[in-house]
Structures are given as structure tokens and as C-alpha cells.
Amino acid sequence: MRKHYLDNIRWITVIIVLIYHVLYMYNAEGILGGLGRITHLPVQYYDAFQYLIYPWFMPVLFLVSGISTRLYLDLHSDREFIKSRTLKLLVPSTIGLFVFQFIQGYVSMSLGGGFDGLAGEGVPKPVIYLIMVASGSGVLWYMHLLWIYCVVLVLIRKIEKGKLLKSGAKTPLWLMALFILPVWGASQILNTPIISVYRIAFYFVFFILGYYVFSNDEVMERLKKIAVPLIAFAAVLCIAFTIMYFGDNYADKPINRGFLYALDAYAGALAMLSGFARFGDFSNDFTKWMTGHSFGLYVFHYLGISSVALIFAKPGLLPAPVCYIFSLLAGFAFGYGLYAVISRIPFFRWAVLGISRKKEK
């Protein structure tokens, strides 16, 4: 029986990611990677949205990915699992970079002045292309980490032989609360120094907890009973985090190593999970369509946002409010539009979206 609340968490979280990236593109808090401030406001108070959601929106996706992995492996072999994850995750995030996502690399480098001096210094065009490929990963970092986690999980399963799943099903609420300790501990290690989103240990804990603990119906029944107070607690933490750190770089150390960040991430992810399990476990034509197109929206939305920033916002061709609106609309247009086109083109559908070359039923 399909768990519709997992589908609903996915597509709603992807929309939250899209909105976040619009604000991130023009943020005034010095978070590097976008274009930066384009308004003349002394303080962009609406940037607070980034602080409210940043700690938990990717952890919840890894948590859901862990649960979904359990559901898949209950019906498929390890070999089938690795094959499917390689097609869906590794192919688009590697081969897809050379086939299509280098365009994102070009836009990102143009925004940040990455081409300045390259041509003048006589850098060969093939080398410039490889630099664009390396710069084009963008949102695909999630797929890189998730594929690695899937491979590691298969190795863990061979060692523990199902014992951890049985233990996970018995997890009481008090022990769920104590899981904040490994979450916080993991946030201290295996963090890449320059590209801060690659927090290998931190996100792995959420993935593993999703697989071994929260994929069990018994555990979710316990969690659903405290959904309302958990949501309220998470909201308080989000507000506290925002008040404490607004104006600072929330995406890097020392803030993203702190206990409040870890607690916000864990409580926020569980609030989403419990809330949707209790109130959002339904399906209709709209949610089915959103679910079926959420992957394309995730893969392509940032290209739309960054293209508007490069073409209109950077040279100041349009007022700042219009750039925000156009970026938001372009995120949806590129996400759904490119998915509709590329998913129908042979080879590209495989290389960019991980859709099997074989005709699907």
C-alpha cells in the first residue's frame, strides 16, 4: 500500500527548495553562491525565510529517501536496488553534467565572474568546458550523496542481516529524542571545506534513521500521536534559530555545527514527517501530477532562477521586485518545461533524468 504522505512531503519540499533558491539568489546576508543583493533596502527582512527552513528541508528529503529505500528493498534484491539507484541518481549527476548541466555551470560562472581572465590567459576551450561541467552540479549534490548512501547501506545490510530493522521497529519516543545526539555528532565530521552542502556524515544519519527506524509502521504510529506538539516545538526552534542568527552565514561553520542547528534540523524533519503522516496521507489528481513532476522540478528549477538573475538582474534591466517574480516563475517554467521536453528525447532522457532507455509500460 503506497504511503502517499511520503510523495506529498517530496513535492512540497521541492517547492520550498525552489522558493528558498529565489531568496538565496538575491540574499543580503552574504551567503555566497548567488548574485547577491539587488535592492536598496537597508535590511531584507524577508530573507528570514531562509533561516526558518534551511536547517531542516534537506534533512527531511534524506529521511524520506531512507524510508523509501526500505519500501523498495522489501520488494527487490540488492542488485536491482543498486542498478535502479545508479540509473536514477548517478547517471544524471555525472553523465548528465556533460550532456546538459554544463549549461548551469556556464550560467553560474557568468554570475560570479568565473570566466574573467580565462580567455585572456589562453585557457583552451576544452578545459573551459570541463570547468563548466564541474561548476554545473548545482542541486545535483543531493543525488551524489544519496547514491553513496545507497551503496553503503547495501554493505551494512549484508553485515547486520536484518537485525537492526527489527530493533528499529521497537524504538520508543524517548529514544527517538536521544537520536539528536548522533545527529549533532555527525554534524562535526566529514564536512567538505569549500562546498559546504556536502555534509556527508550529517545527512547520512538522517538517511539511516529513515531506513532503520522511521520506515517501521509501529514507529510512525507512535510519532503521529505527538505530531501537533512536535510541529509546535519545531516552529519555536525555527523562530529561535532565525532570531539568533539572522544576518550571519547559516550555511557554514560555526553555525551549521552548533547544537541549535542540529536540533532545528532534526525536530523540523520529524515535524514534517509526523505532520504529513497524520494529516497529509492522501492522494488526488493534483498530488499525483505534482509527485510525477517533482523530480524534474528539482533538477531544472535552479537553471531558470539563475538565468533570470544573469540576464535581467545582474545588468539591472528590471526592478528588483520584478526580478524576484520572474525568477520564481522561471523556476517553475524551467522545471516543468525542461522535464516535459527532455523526458521525451531519446538518450537525453536517460543521461539527464535517469529514465530507462527501455520503453516503460
d(CA 327, CA 231): 30
Query: Inter-axis angle of helices 78-85 and 48-73, to 10 degrees?
Result: 140
What letter would DSSP give residue 63?
Answer: H
Phi, psi of 32 (to 5 degrees): -70, 155
Phi, psi of 115 (to 5 degrees): -90, -10
C-alpha cell at 4: 502517499
Picking from 36-40, 169-173, 195-199, 213-217, which range would have the lowest pLDDT averaged per residue?
195-199
Angle at 279 between CA 275 and CA 285, to 5 degrees: 120
Please report the pLDDT score of residue 10 as a whole number.
Answer: 97
Picking from 129-138, 211-220, 222-231, 270-279, which range would have the lowest pLDDT averaged per residue?
129-138
Overall pTM > 0.85? yes
Please report the pLDDT score of residue 360 as a whole number.
Answer: 46
pLDDT(313) > 90? yes
pLDDT tier at 32, thresholds 50, 70, 90: confident
pLDDT tier at 120, thresholds 50, 70, 90: low
Residue among 258, 172, 228, 223 at smallest CA distance from 63: 223
Please report the pLDDT score of residue 119 as a whole number.
Answer: 62
Residue among 76, 80, 104, 79 at smallest CA distance from 92: 104
First to last CA, the chain: 20
pLDDT(157) > 90? yes
Beta strands in the chain (DSSP E): none
d(CA 71, CA 215): 8
Picking from 125-129, 187-191, 350-354, which range would have the lowest pLDDT averaged per residue?
125-129
Q: Which residue has the higher pLDDT, 55 or 357?
A: 55
Q: Are 189 and 201 in contact (CB under 8 A)?
A: yes
Residue among 178, 302, 202 at smallest CA distance from 253: 202
d(CA 281, CA 63): 17
Q: Look at residue 272 and give its three-state secondary structure.
A: helix
Mean pLDDT, range 76-87, rounded to an integer: 96
Residue among 136, 133, 153, 155 at smallest CA distance from 145: 153
As a whole number, the mean pLDDT across the chain is: 94
Angle at 120 between CA 117 and CA 124, to 5 degrees: 100
Please report the pLDDT score of residue 361 as a whole number.
Answer: 42
pLDDT tier at 14, thresholds 50, 70, 90: very high
Please report the pLDDT score of residue 125 as a whole number.
Answer: 84
pLDDT tier at 214, thresholds 50, 70, 90: very high
Q: Look at residue 199 and give its three-state secondary structure.
A: strand
Give the containing element (helix H, strand E) for 154. Answer: helix 141-160
